[in-house]
Amino acid sequence: MSIGIIGKKVGMTQIFDTSGLAIPVTIIKAGPCIVTQVKNKNEHQYEAIQIGFGEVMSKHLNKPLLGHLKKTNTPPLKYLKEFKVDNIETYNCGDLLTVDRFQVGELLDITGKNIGKGFSGYQKRHNFGRGPMSHGSKNHRQPGSIGPGTTPGRVYPGKKMAGHLGNQKTTIKNLEIIHINNTDHLLVVKGSVPGKMGNLLVIKKK
């Protein structure tokens, strides 16, 4: 597996190609990320690289996390993410990961939490059909029957019902890089990514 990078969603806009077509794009501030730990098979039973993103004041982190970062003389970082890799020899603690790792035209898999929508009903959450709206019907957006009575005498787990919608981990695959701004650490990708502005994202090459 290859190592990715952490970033934040800046927002969406559109750009025009040479033929005049409008392309919807998302702007992502990706990195810079710092390698905070290199895990090997002798000490940790597997090989992985841990990276950090989002420098903050030390008062915003607890003492165990500050102690962990202090071992490698790393500044206080809010977000840590681990990537399993096939070869750890090319990475060292303190290495900087930036958008220079990417090229225009490459495809990315971007993971993040989608927008939370609170408690939602059956139609919005599961795309159920509604009941009749006239002729004395009292069942418009209700669930109707949810199972037999005597047998089994209960509702099976996993039944599609009203509940919490959104705020779940989602991955959008095969997003093409349209433009890279190395100065401001910006990636411009074609299409949309999970979440709203400021949402934390994990960006990985295909």
**Domain membership flag for residue 146:** no
Could you tell me if residue 161 is inside a domain?
A: no
Q: Has residue 176 been placed in a domain?
A: yes
N residues, the chain: 206
Encode burial over 129-163: b for 16+ CB neighbours within 10 A, e otherwise. eeeeeeeeeeeeeeeeeeeeeeeeeeeeeeeeebe
Domain count, the chain: 1
Is 125 among the domain residues?
A: no
Q: Is residue 134 part of a domain?
A: no
Q: By residue range, what is the domain housing residue 176?
A: 5-115+171-205
What is the pLDDT at residue 110? 95
Q: State the CATH number of the domain containing residue 82.
A: 3.30.160.810
Is residue 142 assigned to a domain? no
Per-residue pLDDT, 1: 66
What lies within 8 Å, CB to CB, of 47 at 6+ separation is 39, 40, 41, 84, 85, 86, 87, 88
Given a cut of 70, the residues of the chain with pLDDT beneath it are: 1
Dihedral sign computed on CA atoms, order 89, 112, 76, 63: negative
Q: What is the pLDDT, as a whole number, of residue 167?
A: 94
Q: Tell me whether residue 141 is in a domain.
A: no
Read off the pLDDT of residues 39-91 as tens digits, 9 standing for 90 and up: 888 888 888 999 999 889 999 999 999 999 998 888 999 999 999 888 888 88
